Amino acid sequence: MEKPIFEHGMNTTRRHFLSKLSLGLGSAALGSLLIPDLFKGGSGGEADVETLMAGLPHFAPKAKRVIYLFQNGAPSQLDLFDYKPMLNKMHGEDLPESIRGTQRLTGMTANQAKFPLAGSVFNFKQYGKSGAWMSELLPHMASIADDLCIIKTLNTEAINHDPALTFFQTGAQVGNRPSFGSWLSYGLGSENQNLPGFCVLLSRGKGNGQGVYSKLWTNGFLDSVHQGVQFSSGENPVLYLNDPDGMDRTQRRNMLDKVAELNQGTFNEFGDPEITAKVQQYEMAFRMQTAVPQITDMSKEPESIVKMYGPECLVPGTYAANCLLARKLSEQGVRFVQLYHQGWDSHGGLPNEIKGQCLDVDQSSAALITDLKQRGLLDETLVIWGGEFGRTNYCQGTLTKDNYGRDHHPRAFTVWMAGGGIKPGIVYGETDEFGYNIVKDPVHVHDFHATILNQLGLDHEKLVYKHQGRRYRLTDVAGKLVKGIIA
Amino acid sequence: MKKQLFFLATITCLAALFVVSCFQKNGTSKKGVDKGLVSYNFDVRPILSDKCYACHGPDAKKREAGLRLDVAESAYSKLKDGKGFAILPGKPDESEVYKRITSVNPDYQMPTPESHLGLLNENEINVVRKWIEQGAKYEKHWAFTAPVLPAAPEVSDKDWPRNEIDRFVLQKMEDAGLAPNEEADKSHLLKRVALDLTGLPPTLDLQNRFAADKGEKAYEKIVDELLSQKTYGEKMAIYWLDVARYADSYGYQDDEVRTQWPWRDWLINAFNKNMRYDQFLTWQIAGDMLPNANKEQILATAFFRNHKYTEEGGVIPEEYRIEYNIDKTKTYSTGVLGLTVECAQCHDHKYDPISQEDYYRLFAFFNNSKELGFEGDISQTKLAKNPILRISDQEAKTLLTFINRPDTSSLMVSVMGDRGTLRPTHILNRGVYDAPGRVVTASALPSVMKFDTNGLPQNRMGLAKWTTSKSNPLTARVFVNQIWQEFFGRGIVKSTGDFGMQGDLPTNPALLDWLAVDFMNHGWDIKRLVKQIVTSATYRQSAKVTDEKLKVDPENIYLSRGPRYRLPAELVRDMVLSTSGLLVPKIGGPSVKPYQPKGLWEAATSGRGTLKTYQQDKNDALYRRGMYTFIKLTVPPPSMIIFDASNRDHCEIKRSKTNTPLQALVMLNDPTVLEASRVLAERLTAKSTNVETNIKESFQRIVCRQPTDKEVKLLTEYYNGEASMFAKDKKHAFKVLNVGEFPRNEKVNEVQAAALMRVINALYNMEETITKS
């Protein structure tokens, strides 16, 4: 009962407090380095500390960190996970209206005279103890089927990329709500004081692309310290990280010392604590300049790792390299690593495009799971793989024997999870024989969010932030735990 | 280690909690509590609103037990179950409300554990008890009652106040046992006022003139001078660009270029002409509906058309048309009325008396626009979306001379324009476009002020008249509060965008009302309001803070010291460019693309459109003010975002002020800052080779005051160390100087220039440099 009162009354203070912990940017954190004596006594304060912060996390977490492998553009569940032989049998026949029901269609196929069903051209087999179906495009993922929890019944309201992607990342279709990673940074802070708590890695396949945009990793109304920090494959792994030519570490250190001394003078005159905080932020920046390049340097990875992720993992900016980097960041305590891989939006020529996309992601996605597992990290790391919606069982454009396109399908699609206290080796939820509607165990985006938060020890109804008079949650006013997938 | 961190953080947190709670006791309701009188508006309603209204408030659908506690009749009447009264005035122990908020039985207590709202604390319970004892009197929400001009209060210190503002402020200060700071020294005051009025630090010339002028009116003269500069309009425009969510692209995934910038030129000009605020609003809300509206008046309505616009193939047009109207409604209500109404898009507002019907009646004003939800995908893009204002070369030469065009080609701007026949507006169930309910007609929020359909047309012109009526309780208050926030960093109502029941209460209600009424009584004159603020003794105080003041008033609510905070993002850039002499002071025109880290646009693009790659500009365009940096919505300019600029995704009237290592990295490594350091170093070295002279001049330009001896000594030592290092390796010096596209001055000694560049770079990284204090 203490918690909500605290939540309400201390909104500002709490936010500032947490913001200082998160992103590894903290003056609180730095304070501990500068004045270690503060911690030695540990007198009467401890009890109060426990009571006050008892709410965060709200209960014992199963996962400490998340790696979200977002497949941007919406991979076809019908060609990868949701095996529907009926579609092959009825290849070319019209989707029965009784199945389509009241589903809204995008402007791209709404005016099609026919909705011819398109069976997948790829072969499916069953894998693992659960007998999960997977297509021939995913041999590596198939080999770790026993680690995966395959959910076939994700569903969303949005039928266009931008709102659907925004919905998955922020819990709302309109922009400017905090991103998932920002909520975690706000709620849990960072485990590593030299790295941001929320990192974003981008890559692109050759398939039809849909853009990503920085509002997907926005802090929304939370402090901007909770914003996702985009890593890039260019010269600067983090924006403005590198010192200019001719400035070595000694010279930089010397300069920062001079600046700190000047700032001390201002502090003596004005007494504003922001001045001291500024000095500490400069120190943090200095440490990040060492910490970040160390982590993005792949040259010291052993051959076994390179073999596992595939040779592309040594090419910065590829999905494989990002998977490996995600593991390294996560291992260092980064709370939320968000990958986006573009190119899944196959409205036409799907069989060819999806092959390329799978070549990009299959091996390294599976390697990430195996790698985390061998390091004993999979238990505490939740890995998620999936897109913003699924694709239709009927063809967009011209259907031939071995070529088709698929439009957007929000009603049922597949996402998998691994680790982080999620049941391994299961398939959850069922769609009808057309793969169009859900017949068992639907998982709405809000439910999915509530469940992930739960794994991190957060009650999605209690992780709130009051902004302009309203209490906001990642799950808005909805969300039910998907108990069937929790180990 | 982690535990220790946690511990320190928690101590900080506890300390803050302690300060806040003490502060609240001594704060707003001190007088009331002393006299034992409880105010519904200031003491009780915030508690009921936060803890009770979600289930017992304005939202009819979520109302439990048929009980609402936000209106007296319901709260006083017999409970539905027949067992007593929710509130029995005078008798807390017989009031169900009091019994439940004090109960420990989870099945009985309020708020319920399931609501996650938390129980009331002891102080809150006492307030409710007292209020019921005193008769449980309800009052209309303070912000929905028209302000009346309060008399300026008597204060004991007669000498300090310079104008009415100071008497209101001083009274609060004296109540809290605080005394004002002394006036800021001339150099800090000049820097503060120059930044606040023009967004630029004072030039050396201005600094020297002001220092030399020992006259009584020296400061007022400077204020008048600054107010008359064109840079005043630029500075004022920045915050309104946030309100208007101005951007240079359409947003959404393909994010193609658009041209709304002529409206930005209009905006700057409107502030410079000192257009009355009521007219400023009328033109932007309904300029196209004025009798014989001219193109300038129509251009003003682009304010409502700066919202995002999708070009994603396959969207359902009506879904997006509705979305754009929701955005307009939000921009109007948040930016102009200071209310968050979007809750009522899906259901009756839970806290404010705004029903879903009220929302859609407000929405209806914008719903008759000729615009389409979708005009085709990116392959059919154009620079504006219907309705479009086209401005010819001739028109730009005659009527619209404030537009700073790159060439003589005609311009396109998305503006407002209504259909001939009225498009019916439906209440949308759950706020969803394809769930229309009954039809409603246009009307403004009745709980704020009646919309008289006899006197007002039911269109945007009617809305403009309603908004700018002197009886409207919100318009002037919200505006003066926004302006106050611009100068003090915090509004009198802290929640600038929420004057509703869940918003913060004004810390000085009489001052807010005085400012608002005085503003309206003097012709909504913005420059006059600004001048009143900057010439007040309140504003002119030093920003120094003692430990004691920090303890009693950490947020400076009582204004017993001057404002001190980091500059907004655009002004950080302006500071660097102007002090180095690189700034190109051109006003307006199309946005520009200065240096930006490589690969950002390229990494996050659909691969379509003209903005898929960043084409950096050259020459003058590299050195324009921050407000002209091209805003691509999906990848807004990084150095701006790092310094808390709005991402312009939606209407925003308050930026956060964070302090992060990424900001440090920008100041240390952004080529803009390095180039400015180099260019200034070269210029000074070309003029003089005297190290001390050059250090002093750079300091005065950048920090805007004379350095102390200690500072000169420290910087000279730094200079000497760097110079001797570069002297040993001249290639090193060249390497350091090799930054930015501005031509190098080959004539200066590279060792001297590089060493001075390091000093200047250090100055740009001083906290004081990018702080208004």
pLDDT at B606 over 90: no
Q: Which amino acid is at A230?
A: Q
pLDDT per residue as tens digits for the range B106-117 = 899 999 988 888
- The pLDDT of residue B46 is 85
Task: Tell if the CB–CB gap between B8 and A31 is shorter than 8 Å.
Answer: yes
Mean residue pLDDT of chain B comes to 92
Whole-number pLDDT of residue A40: 25
Q: How confident is the model at residue A24 (pLDDT cuts 50, 70, 90)?
A: very low
Q: Helix or strand or coil: residue B427?
A: strand
Q: Is the model's pTM score more than 0.90?
A: no
**Could you tell me if B606 lies within 8 Å of chain A, comparing CB atoms?**
yes
pLDDT digits (tens, 9 = 90+) for B182-215: 999 999 999 999 999 999 999 999 999 999 999 9
Indicate if the pLDDT at residue A102 is higher than 80: yes
Quote the CA–CA distance of A385 and A374 in Å, as a whole number.
20
CA distances from A138 to A124, A377, B768 (A): 10, 23, 57
Interface size A-B, in CB pairs within 8 Å, comes to: 319
Would you say residue B283 has pLDDT above 70?
A: yes
Name chain B contacts of A104, Cβ cutoff 8 Å. Answer: 316, 434
Instruction: Give the confidence band of A92 by pLDDT, cuts at 50, 70, 90.
Output: very high
The shortest C-alpha distance from A127 to chain B (Å) reads: 35
What is the C-alpha to C-alpha distance for residues B75 and A61, in angstroms, rounded to an integer? 43
Question: Is residue A101's pLDDT more than 90?
Answer: no
Q: SS3 of B160, please?
A: coil
| B669 in reach of chain A (CB within 8 A) | yes
Answer whether residue B29 shows pLDDT above 90. no
Confidence (pLDDT) at A215? 79
Question: Is pLDDT at B11 greater than 80 in this prediction?
Answer: no
Would the pLDDT of A18 be above 70?
Answer: no
pLDDT score of A2: 29
d(CA B752, CA A117): 75
Interface of B with A in 552-591 (CB under 8 A): 564-566
Task: Inspect the interface and report whether the beta carbons of B659 and A274 lie closer than 8 Å.
Answer: yes
Helix, coil or strand: residue B390: strand
Average pLDDT over residues B683-692: 97
Confidence band, pLDDT 50/70/90 cuts, at residue A49: very low
DSSP string, A357-414: HHHHHHHHHHHHHHHHHHTT-GGGEEEEEE-SSEEEEEEES---SS--EEEEE-SSEE
pLDDT value at residue B174: 92
DSSP state of B508: S
Instruction: Provide the pLDDT for residue A207.
Output: 87
Interface of B with A in 388-447 (CB under 8 A): 434
pLDDT tens, residue by residue, A404-430:
999 999 999 999 999 999 999 999 999
Q: What is the mean pLDDT of residues B135-152?
A: 93
CB-nearest partner of A285 from B644, B665, B708: B665
Is pLDDT of A80 > 70? yes
The candidate with the shortest Cα–Cα distance to A309, out of A297, A295, A299, A319, is A319
pLDDT (tens digit per residue) in B535-585: 999 999 999 999 999 999 988 999 999 999 999 999 999 999 999 999 999
CB contact under 8 A, B310 and A254: no
Q: Which residues of B touch A13 (CB under 8 A)?
A: 13, 16-17, 20
A167 contact residues in B (CB cutoff 8 A): none
CA atoms within 13 A on the CB side of A381: 29
B116 contacts A470? CB cut-off 8 A: no
Q: What are the distances in angstroms from CA B518 to CA A19, B514, B515, B531?
A: 40, 6, 5, 13
Judge whether residue B9 has pLDDT over 50: no
Q: Yes or no: say if B254 and B315 are a contact pair by the CB < 8 Å rule.
A: no
Mean pLDDT check: name the lowest of A58-72, B113-127, B219-233, B419-433.
B113-127
| Closest C-alpha to B118, from A462, A113, A384 | A462
Q: Using pLDDT thresholds of 50, 70 and 90, give the confidence band for residue A55.
A: low
Q: What is the mean pLDDT of residues B372-395?
A: 96
Percent of chain A with pLDDT over 70: 88
Residue B664 to residue A285, Cβ atoms within 8 A: yes
The whole-angstrom separation of Cα B715 and Cα B718 is 5
Under an 8 A CB cutoff, do A271 and B17 touch?
no
- Residue A76's identity, in one-letter code, is S
Contact B257, B385 (CB under 8 A): no
Region B476-500: mean pLDDT is 96
Say yes or no for a CB contact (<8 Å) between A258 and B708: no
Q: How far is A176 from chain B (nearest CA, A)?
A: 7
The reported pLDDT for the residue numbered A305 is 97
Asked if B8 is an interface residue toward chain A (Cβ–Cβ < 8 A), one would say: yes
Look up residue A193 and give its two tokens.
Answer: 């004081």
Select the residue from A159, A193, A470, A473 to test the B interface by mutation, using most B Cβ atoms within 10 A. A470
Non-local (6+) Cβ contacts of B521 within 8 A are: B149
Q: Are B504 and B495 in contact (CB under 8 A)?
A: yes
B668 touching chain A per CB within 8 A:
yes
CB contact under 8 A, A45 and B113: no
Write down the pLDDT at residue B31: 40
* A191 residue type, one letter: E
Helix, strand, coil % over all residues of chain A, rounded to 5: 40, 20, 40
Model confidence at A17: pLDDT above 80:
no
Give contacts of A254 with chain B, Cβ < 8 Å. 718, 721
Using one digit for the tens of pLDDT, what is the confidence trace for B208-244? 999 999 999 999 999 999 999 999 999 999 999 999 9
pLDDT of res. A48: 29
- Between chains, do A284 and B316 touch, taking CB under 8 Å as contact? no
Share of chain B above pLDDT 70, in %: 95
Show Cβ contacts of residue A16 under 8 Å, excluding neighbours closer than 6 positions. A223, B16
CB proximity B720 to A under 8 Å: no
Contact across the interface for B253 and A162, Cβ inside 8 Å: yes
Mean pLDDT, residues A245-252: 97
* Between A97 and B576, the higher pLDDT residue: B576
Q: How far is CA B245 from CA A216, A226, B400, B734, in A?
A: 18, 22, 23, 43
Long-range contacts of B578-582 (CB under 8 A, 24+ apart): B578/B200, B578/B201, B578/B203, B579/B201, B579/B676, B579/B680, B579/B701, B579/B702, B580/B676, B580/B677, B580/B679, B580/B680, B580/B701, B580/B760, B581/B679, B581/B680, B581/B683, B582/B623, B582/B675, B582/B676, B582/B679, B582/B742
Residue to substitute from B253, B315, B380, interface A, most A β-carbons within 10 A? B253
B547 to chain A: nearest residue by CA?
A271
| Mutant choice from A204, A258, A286, A461 vs B, greatest count of B C-beta within 10 A | A258
